[in-house]
Chains A and B, each alone.
Chain A
Amino acid sequence: MSHKILVVDDEEAISLALEFLLKRAGYEVAVARDGVEALERIAAWRPDLVLLDIMMPGKDGFEVCQSVREMNDLTPQPKIVMLTAKGRDVERTKGLAVGADDYVVKPFSTDELLQRIARHLGQEAA
């Protein structure tokens, strides 16, 4: 069974590209457009990994990440890879502090992103 990945980004251009990329790499993909939707999907659909944008209207990526980590009944917990256009170290530290597993800065290399995802999912490089 292929792994499930939830893409959370309010930018349609980005989420479409990610969806296409991940589907082609053989993952099962769903898209959420904001933080609230993301939490619903995570609870219901139970993805293996969440690609989470930080800057979104409403609930931002940090809050989503924190909420996910506080869901005690959610086991196993999904891997969370933060995706952000903010490149500052403060953001990275904060992302890792709220329980993210990795941190990718936009603009990113699609190959590198796939490799990181594969590593977090315990696969060898795709």
Chain B
Amino acid sequence: MAEATRGLGLVAPGVAAAAAFGYLLLLFAVAFWADRRAAQHRSVIDRSWVYSLSIGVYCTAWTFFGSVGVAAERGLWFLPIYFGPTLVMLAAPLVLVPMLRVAKSLRLTSLSDLLSTRFGHRALLGRWVALALVVVSIPYVALQLKAIALAFEIVSGGAGGEAARTFWLVVVLALFAALFGTRRLDVTERHEGLVAAVAFESAVKLGAFLLLGVVIGAVLLGDAEGALRAAWWEAWQAVPKIDAVAAMGYGDWLALTVLAGVAFVLLPRQFQVLVVENVRAEHLTRASWQFPLYLWALNLFVVPVALLGKVLLPDGVTSDGFVLTVPLALHEHWLAVVVFLGGISAATSMVIVESVALATMISNDWVAPWWLRRGKTLAAGHLLWVRRAVIVAVIAAGYLFFLLAGESHALIAIGLVSFLGVAQLAPAVVAAFLWPGASAVGVAAGLFVGLVVWGYTALLPLLIRSGWFPEAWLTVGPAGIAWLRPEALFGVEGMAPVTASLVWSVLANGVVLIAVSVLRPPDGATRAIARRFVADQLFRASRKGAATIADASVAPVRSHWRAKTQSSAVLEVLARFVSAERLIEALRAFRAERGLAADAPLVVDEAFVAFAERLLSGAIGGVAARLVLEGVLGERAPAWDEVMALVDEARAVREANERLRELDRMKDEFIASVSHELRTPLAAVRAYAELLAADPDIDRETRRKFYQTMVRESERLTRLVNQVLDLAKLDSGHAEWRHEAVDLRTVVHEVAETMRPVVRERGGELGVVVPQEEAICFGDRDRLVQLLLNLVGNAVQFMKAPHGKVAVTLQPDAQTWRLIVEDNGPGVPPEERQAIFERFHRASKTRAHSTGTGLGLAIAKRIAEHMGGAIAVDESPLGGARFVVTLPRGTVSQENREREDEPQDLGGG
């Protein structure tokens, strides 16, 4: 092909590489941006059209490049691949939405999780399914990498270096998938960045193809001599019309459509974007028409491009590369680069999502249970790294497969073979939702037989054609036995090989599933779970006599949990895998749902265990969740060292929980205090109002005094409300802080001006000492004024009654400014010098606080600390309290402070 493209205009290899890597950088930016937005609770992916675009991961490089190839070689044969998904999506409200709801309510993380959960938490089944999907998907990943290498080769005419470029692109891809596919442990928490990037890639794919179509249209219309247009028109006339479909065989069309529809739902990456990453069910309902629209827009220009390729390019140029070679032949280099990026986007999005989906399955179905069974404990951190490692391993496996089999025929045809392999899960999934009588053994047996038939009828021919087995097996049959020919099993001919493989494998799969399920019916536990999946009518119809056993056999197993296990043990385990906020929120919902009070004790009953399991499943998958819970609940004979290790590890968590509880208690106390502080002035206001109303004969002077008191108490209420709000703002970190150079002398003067009349009114005097030179400090001037006002206001309250003294002094120190406020009041005893800065702390020795809110000092402390300073109280030479605020000095300290700020920001984000 390298020879065949010679003579075309080519893109310099460096340009292609720069475009590809630049594009990947852009992808990182998109994902970072979306993750950032998600952290701000402004989700990018919470839109149905973004969801629809992300489903576009269905269209891989295989379809991006291959559709035109198929269209060029075989006409409308490229269409069934899109018919299937279109039909499935149009029927989504009926077919997919119920599945989505079940998956969400059980917090299922993957298809293997779905099947192993549905059929009685069979770890083995989940493992089989995961393994099957890995085996089927790795070559498919390899195909994408092959497409990337091929695209490099075509745009640059095989100038060499494709292997290196592909390798580095794969490295970057692995990095991307590991980074954005494992932001959090709980895989049912969505990967916002990843999905946004994938949606973006789908948009790029579509944009590139549409642009290609538009340019081709312009070229054809602008073709002056008309030779090209005429040739193209002739080719167009020759396209087989719809009635020619019959000639291709309705059966084969139907088979291919069904196959594509099934694969569209069951491929790991599809389940990931359709179900796991779905934000809300309504999106799926809207995507049911949005996504088909996308699909058909993407295919709008497939036939025109294919035809132009045939007209324009010499024979021998691979039709799979037409989307690239056509713009090259037209010398539209920029267009070739854009289409090239479209192909890259198709390949990369598939690799990213597929690897993440497979990694979830491998780590949840294989690694985590294996780890737990070996008696090891499992922490969130381990699992994240396991998942990252598996993502990289999946991509590496794909790359190895590409290196080993890249040149063989096998790879090109692997797309359909993968589809066929995935279709083996269809009988199990259908049974999961429609037939309560299906058992785990039946499903496993069906799957096994189906995969064997698939291997024989789909995989084997591929390997034979790649020369790994004798060609004769296809033509005369292995050992000359004709009815064993892989593509004409039992001598049945006339079907396309794909159709034959589909029919034989799924038929065998389904028959075995039914037969074995009837022979070995599901146990009670499985039937109990089936109730969650199967629609009520179907369930009742098939219940008959067997169902009572279900309820009877579940209940006794669970009843002894109650006696044995404390809910706190379960909560500790949950806290290891689920973030604190999420756990608290989930518990709140759980209690609300059951009509329990917010602080009601939790009893380990069936509902609680189900709740815990659901929550845990979201983090580590159904199988591991069950194992962990069994360990804690003692349902399985407990391995004591295992449980002890769990408890050991949970200690840190318990301590964290205690801190949380402490915080919670402090919050309760704060609310009680606020309520208390509000009630007191309210009581006064009400009492005086009632006194005044009840007795019109109160003398003028008393009346005036009452009114004054009411006004004063109302002012106190207002101040209290303001300060509570202010404190809440400071504590929540939502306060806005200016960062400016402030001359502290001006702050002192401003506060002195404000407070001097107040001090005088109470018979005291206010002294101020400030330095000569500028006293620069970096911070928020208004907050500094507030700080000093609070301190002076506090001093005024406590200064001696007739001859009060308050002094404000500003002094330079080595690194800091010292802002000192002293009074000649009773002072603060040493044992209270810490507590005085707590909210609503009241000095015990005095009762001169009727105007204070109990919050002024707490606010002052927060302000000082936020500006990098500190506040303390000791004894004043005046006899009373001396408050010393130290604030970092400007110039030198500004840089220091900003350097200190950085790690905090990173930690928070």
Q: State the A residues within 8 Å of B (CB).
A: 10-14, 16-18, 20-21, 24, 33-34, 55, 57-58, 85-88, 105-111
Contact = CB atoms under 8 A, between A and B. Distances in A.
B675 A12 contact: no
A86 B690 contact: no
A18 B712 CA distance: 17
Interface residues of B, number: 31
A107 B847 contact: no
Contact of B675 (A16, A85, A111): A85
Interface string B510-540: 0000000000000000000000000000000
B251 to A, nearest CB: 76
B847 A16 contact: no
A13 B586 CA distance: 46
A57 B691 contact: no
B680 A58 contact: no
Contacts of A12: 850
A21 to B, nearest CB: 6
Nearest to B702: A20
Contact of B688 (A10, A11, A17, A57): A17
- Listed residue (B683, B702, B842, B850) with the most chain A CB atoms within 10 angstroms of its CB: B683
Interface string B214-250: 0000000000000000000000000000000000000
22 contacts: A11-B850, A13-B713, A14-B680, A14-B684, A17-B691, A17-B709, A18-B687, A20-B691, A21-B687, A24-B691, A57-B842, A57-B845, A57-B846, A57-B847, A85-B677, A85-B680, A86-B675, A106-B680, A108-B686, A110-B687, A110-B690, A111-B694
Contacts of A87: 675, 679
Interface of B: 672, 675-688, 690-691, 694-695, 702, 706, 709, 712-713, 842-847, 850
Question: What are the 5 closest A-B residue pairs judged by CB atoms, nearest first?
Answer: A106-B683, A85-B679, A107-B683, A13-B684, A17-B687
Contacts of A57: 842-847
Given A11-B684, A17-B687, A17-B691, A107 B679 contact: yes
Contacts of A86: 672, 675-676, 679
A85 B676 contact: yes
Nearest to B679: A85
A76 to B, nearest CB: 29
Nearest to B684: A13
B714 to A, nearest CB: 11
A111 B690 contact: yes
Contacts of B702: 20
B855 to A, nearest CB: 16
A126 B214 CA distance: 96
Contacts of A14: 680, 683-684, 687
A17 B675 contact: no
Nearest to A91: B672
Given A17-B687, A110-B694, A111-B690, A10 B672 contact: no
A24 B695 contact: yes
Interface residues of B: mostly helix, strand, loop or mixed?
Answer: helix
B236 to A, nearest CB: 84
Contact of B850 (A13, A18, A21): A13
Contact of B691 (A34, A105, A107, A110): A110
Contacts of B847: 10, 33-34, 57
A86 B688 CA distance: 20
Most B CB atoms within 10 A — which of A17, A24, A58?
A17
Nearest to A55: B676
A33 B676 CA distance: 18
Contacts of A17: 684, 687-688, 691, 706, 709
A109 B843 CA distance: 30
Given A105-B679, A107-B687, 4 more contacts: A17-B691, A57-B843, A85-B675, A110-B687
Given A21-B691, A86-B676, A107-B686, A13 B681 contact: yes
A14 B685 CA distance: 9
A111 B691 CA distance: 10
Contacts of B712: 13
Contacts of B681: 13
Nearest to A110: B690
A16 B709 contact: yes
A37 B846 CA distance: 14
Nearest to A86: B676
B676 A108 contact: no
A16 B684 CA distance: 9
A11 B680 contact: yes
A21 B691 CA distance: 7
A106 to B, nearest CB: 4
Contacts of B846: 57
A13 B709 contact: yes
Contacts of B682: 106-107
Nearest to A113: B687
Contacts of B850: 11-13
A124 B363 CA distance: 79
B584 to A, nearest CB: 23
Contacts of A13: 681, 684, 688, 709, 712-713, 850
| Most chain B C-beta atoms within 10 Å of own C-beta, residue among A24, A88, A110 | A110
A109 B688 CA distance: 11
Nearest to B682: A107
Nearest to A108: B683
A73 B706 CA distance: 40
A88 B675 CA distance: 10
Nearest to B713: A13
Contacts of B675: 85-87
Contacts of A11: 680, 684, 850
A110 B684 CA distance: 11
A55 B679 CA distance: 12
Contacts of A55: 676
B798 to A, nearest CB: 13
A107 B688 CA distance: 11
A87 B691 CA distance: 23
A10 to B, nearest CB: 5
- With a 10 A CB-CB cut-off, give which of A33, A85, A108 has the most chain B CB atoms: A85
A113 to B, nearest CB: 9
**Highest count of chain B CB atoms <10 Å: which of A12, A14, A21, A58:** A14
A88 B679 contact: no
Contacts of B680: 11, 14, 85, 106
Nearest to B686: A107
